[in-house]
Amino acid sequence: MIFIKIIFYLILGILPSLIWLFYYLKKDIHPEPKKMILKVFLWGSGITLPVFLLEEVAASFLMKLNLPPLITQLIYCFLIIALIEEFFKYLVVRIKVFNSPHLDEPFDFIIYMIISALGFAAVENILYTLSFASHQMPFQKLAVIASIVLILRFVGATFLHTLCSALIGYSLAISFLDQKNRLFETISGILIAILLHGIYNFSIMFLEGYFKYLSPFFILSALAFFVFANFKKVQKIKSVTILNKKL
């Protein structure tokens, strides 16, 4: 019975990432090799636990500084969670994709960044669902609660991960078409993703009242509008063999 419960929580945890993955892959006019998709997804998954460990160490150090509560909250949301997570999701693509011959059109940057994010979110969601296994409530009730939590994460945290990474992917795509401003555009995309991710985290963790829900809603809406509007823009760019990929 325990084995069945664990399998249930594992499937439930990975399901949001798989649904979003199939959705985004359908957006790709020239599909990427399945082997590369799996590779980037697994690397995105593989960084999750090291990232969480790094966040825990950084958070422990932050608490020892005894800074004012608001400063501590801002540093935690923006510099510990958002910066570390967005940087490592980008790092997966930077290391595993930039030198690949399969990176041959601008839209590939967006797709691979999204795949990396979904790998990360999959393990993150699995850890959330497995935490329910330690509760003493009946399994049926826990299954319902866990399902509701994952639905909220499907339209919330998991969606946020894909959108922030897609934003970085868009900045990478544009940067390789504008060689003179490549570094500026890449860094700008990463910083904006960190900023929006940080505001989202700060809102759901520390704000009260309507702002706790309105702020994340507007961030997700604005990001989704920007990303999906620019999907077609990047797809219309003629496919090219992208050379000189190093920044």
**Per-residue model confidence as pLDDT tens digits over 123-163:** 999 998 888 776 777 777 878 888 998 999 999 999 999 99
- In-domain check, residue 120: yes
pLDDT in tens, 231-247: 888 887 765 555 455 55
Q: Which of 189, 187, 186 minimizes the C-alpha distance to 175?
A: 186
Residue 14 corresponds to which amino acid? I
Helix (H) or strand (E) holding 231: helix 211-235
Q: List Cα–Cα distances, 227 to 12, 15, 31, 148, 191, in angstroms.
A: 27, 22, 19, 26, 16
| Residue-number span of the structural domain to which 99 is assigned | 2-235
pLDDT in tens, 13-37: 999 999 999 999 998 888 999 999 9
Give the pLDDT band (50/70/90) at residue 112.
Answer: very high
- In-domain check, residue 243: no
Q: What's the number of domains the chain is made of? A: 1
Residue with tokens 């500084």: 65
- In-domain check, residue 246: no
33 by DSSP, 3-state: which?
coil
What pLDDT is stored for residue 88 in this prediction?
98
- In-domain check, residue 241: no
- In-domain check, residue 247: no
pLDDT in tens, 41-57: 999 999 999 999 999 99
- In-domain check, residue 244: no
Average pLDDT over residues 211-225: 94
Region of 2 please: left (phi>0), alpha (psi -120 to 50) or beta: alpha
Question: 111 with 32: CB under 8 angstroms?
Answer: yes
- Sorted by sequence, the CB contacts under 8 Å of residue 113 that are 6+ apart come out as 89, 90, 93, 165, 166, 168, 169, 172
pLDDT in tens, 70-111: 999 999 999 999 999 999 999 999 999 998 988 888 899 999
- In-domain check, residue 240: no
